[in-house]
Amino acid sequence: MRKERKIDLRPMLKPQSVAVIGASNNPDKVGHIILNNYLEEGYQGRLYPINPNDEMVMGIRAYKSVLGIRDKIDLAVIAVPAAIVPMVLEECGRAKVKSVVVVSGGFAEVGETKLQDKIVAIANKYNISMVGPNCLGVMDPRSRVDTLFLPTYKLTKPKVGGVSFVAQSGAVGSTVLDLIAGEGFGLSKFISYGNAAQVDEVDILKYLMNDDETKVIIMYIEGVKRGREFLEVAKKVTRVKPVVVIKGGTTDAGVAAARSHTAALAGSNQSYEAVFKQCGFSIAKDLDELLYFGKAFASEMLPLGDRVVIITNGGGTGVLTTDAVYNSGLRMAELSARSRAELSRSMPSTVNVRNPLDLVGDAGIERYDKALSVLSEDPGIDMIIVIALFQTPGADEGLALRLAQYKKAIKKPMIVISIGDKYTRDRVVLMENEGLPVYDSPSAAANSLAELLKYYKYKKGIV
C-alpha cells in the first residue's frame, strides 16, 4: 500500500543546488551529458558532480558521495547502474536531499519489481520526492534546470512559455519537445516520470494546477495507478486550466508494449477515454493533434460561440476550410448587413462578400486589414480563420506581421492557415513567434477551434 507522504516538486524544478550522481568526464556517459546540459543552459545554482574516481569533473570539484557535501542539496540526479541505486538513494536520504530524479533504467519495466519497491521504500523513509526510475526527468527553462540525458545539439529547446508537458515516455517526450520548439509555442515545465514508482501523474497534476507559470498542460499517458484520485484531481485542474492528453496503449498490442515500456497499467482504452471526457480533457488522437490543440490553448483565447468566419486569398482552400468547419461541429457565421455593406464599399468588384470571404489572389495587407477590422467587430461572429497563401503576389512578410498584430488587438479567437514550403514556413515562424497559432491544414485549424469551444463550455458548465 502506498505510504502517504507530502510530495513537493518545487525543489526539483526550482533547485538552488544540484548533485549529479554519476557525473563523468567521459562524453559518452549519461552523467556527462546531464552535467554538461546544466553548464550549457547557464544554471545559476550550485552544481556538485558525484564521482568516486575523479577529483574534478568537467572543471568542477567532484565528490565521492553526497555525504561529503556540506551544502543542502535540493535535487540529486541519479545516473548510475540500477543495482547501486538503492545505496546511492540511501546516502541521499542521510544527506537530507529533498528530491531525486532517477534516470537509470532496469527496474519494474524489465521485471525487477523488488528492486523498484526497494528504492520507493527508501525514498518514502526519508521523505524524498522521487521521479522515475527509467525516465528523462525534468526541465524548467526559467530556472535552467535540465536533467535530460540528450545532447543539446540534437534537440531544439523550446522558448520559455506557458505550456507544461508531462510524458510517461522519455522518447515521446523528447520528440514532442523538439516539435514544440518548431511550432513556436513556449515551454513552462517538462516532466518525464517513467515508471511512476513514487511521483506519479496525480502528484504532477496537483503541482501544475497551482503553478502560476503553467497556463496549459499537455500529457502523454500510458497508464494511471491511482484512478479515483486521478479523477478527483483532474476535475479540479480543468476548472483552472486546459489539459490536452494522448493515451499510449489503445490496442491490445499497445497495452502489452506499454507494460514492458514503463510497467504501466494501461487498461481499457474505452475506460480511459470516458474518464478523460468526464474530466474535461481534450483528447488527441495522435501527436499532430497533441501539438495542434496545445498550440491553440497556448494562445490563451477562448470563444464565446461556434460561429466561424473564413477570410481567404484562395477560393479552393476556403471551400475546403468550410467543409472542415462543418465536419468539426462548428457553424459558418452569417455576416451582418452592416458588415456586408462596409465590405462591399471597400472591396474590388472581384470580391464576393459572403462567408467564406474570398479576397482573391492579389489580396495584400490593405484588403486583409479592411476585412479583419470589419469582421472582428461583427457580433454574429465568434471565431476567425484567416487563410494566408503566401504563394500569391500580395502576400508577403508584411502581411504575416500585420496578421500577428491583429491577433493581439482583437478579442475573438483568430488562427491562420498557411500551406507551403520554405517561403511560407519562414512567414509562419514570424507569426508564431508573435503568438499567432498557424496551421498547415483546414481540418487541423477547425478541430483546434472546436476543442477551444468544447473546453469553454465545460469550464462554464454549459451542456
Question: At the top level of CATH, which class does the domain 301-460 belong to?
Answer: alpha beta
Q: How far apart are CA 156 and CA 363, in angstroms?
A: 35
Using DSSP's 3-state secondary structure scheme, residue 441 falls into coil
The radius of gyration of the chain's CA atoms, rounded to the nearest angstrom, is 25
What was the pLDDT predicted at 300? 86
- Rounded to whole angstroms, the Cα distance separating 223 from 244 reads 15
Residues in the chain predicted with pLDDT less than 50, given as ranges, are 1-3, 254, 258-262, 264-265
Q: Do domains 1-133 and 155-298 have the same CATH topology?
A: yes
Q: In this predicted structure, what is the pLDDT of residue 157?
A: 85
CB 151 within 8 A of CB 33: yes
Q: What does the pLDDT read at residue 260?
A: 47
Residue 181, pLDDT score: 85
Q: What is the pLDDT of residue 463?
A: 58
The CATH number fitting domain 1-133, selected from 3.20.19.10, 3.40.50.720, 3.60.15.10, 3.40.190.10? 3.40.50.720
Q: What number of CA atoms fall less than 13 Å from residue 395's CA on the CB side?
A: 24
The highest-level CATH class for domain 155-298 is: alpha beta
In the chain, what are the domain boundaries?
1-133, 155-298, 301-460
Q: What is the rounded CA–CA span in Å between residue 420 and residue 390?
A: 8
Rounded Cα distance between 191 and 9, Å, is 10
- Tally of CB atoms within 10 A around 179: 16
- Contact call for residues 424 and 418 (beta carbons, < 8 A): yes
